[in-house]
Amino acid sequence: MRLKFVAPLMPTLVEKPPEGDAWIHEVKFDGYRSQLIIDEDRTRIYTRNGHDWTAKYSDLVQEAKGLGAESAIIDGEIIVTNEDGLSDFRPLRKAITSRQHHLYFVAFDLLHLNGFDLRDMALKDRRAGLYAIIPTGLRIQFSDALPGDAKAIFELVDKAGLEGMVSKRKDSKYRSGKSTTWLKIKAYTIDEYELLGVECEAGKPAFALMADRNTGRYVGSAFINSSQAIRERLWKRVQEHAGPAPKGLKRPATQWVKPGIIGRVKHLRGEEDLRHASLQDFREE
């Protein structure tokens, strides 16, 4: 029987991890959500959107031969680790094209095994089956649950510089699409970006429009919730450094500035563009 790609279950973003013993907690890995399918046809790896990337992951396809399953659908994340053993998104694309031996598939759910659809089983039972088919020594690894209290786990995840954690109900069934039975809690980090301008429409909060300092690429806006003194100082600098709009950017009610103002922005870790971002302070180069 040829198995088909299953649209993934997508966790809901929340501010705090859930409390109580009805949940398990795992590291949120900073990589590409992927699905590994093994059947009588061949082993295949799909992206979260269902694109067949088997050819790009030939090393991991070979690794899958070591799994103890005739047929399976495994949900997981393809990652690269840094010197500290933590997942690191930045070198991932290069590893796919030229350093496949650096790739790992971290498996966290089992949707199908040896002819049986497991999606109606409880998560804890699906994970027990997943653990049983993954031997040690492979670059396909099991995502262990983190022991302890949810709040303490998140503090450790944050201090370690990880992207965040995912909390899952032990009794949850696997249903494609957005779900509240899986919750993702992301850590924040602070980085510096180039200020492009300030957008301020009447009756709305002001936003700082930011760009990557190395590439100049627009990465999003940051809510200006700094102290009144910082806001006043920023607006004075913006007026003094007024400049033309960057090419390709059209935003209403925006005062654009010349290069040279650097903003410190607090934002969700592990995102390519700014999310849930706020301007903390700024300086001039």
The answer to whether domain 9-186 and domain 188-284 are alike in fold is no
- Every domain of the chain and the residues it spans: 9-186, 188-284
Which tens digits make up the pLDDT trace of 70-80? 999 999 999 98
Spatial contact of 23 and 159, defined as CB atoms under 8 Å apart: no
pTM, full prediction = 0.78
Average pLDDT over residues 106-125: 98
Q: What is the CATH number of domain 9-186?
A: 3.30.470.30
Q: How many residues does the chain have?
A: 285
> What does the alpha-carbon distance between residue 188 and residue 161 come to, in Å, rounded to a whole number?
9
Q: What is the pLDDT of residues 24-79, one digit of tens each?
A: 999 999 899 999 999 988 999 999 999 999 999 999 999 999 999 999 999 999 99
Instruction: Assign domain 188-284 one CATH number from 2.40.50, 1.20.1730, 3.90.380, 2.10.110.
Output: 2.40.50
Residue 37's pLDDT is: 98
| Residue-wise pLDDT tens digits, 206-253 | 899 999 998 999 999 999 977 788 888 888 888 888 888 888 888 878
Alpha-carbon distances of 83 from 20, 86, 88, 102, 103, rounded to whole Å = 34, 7, 10, 12, 14
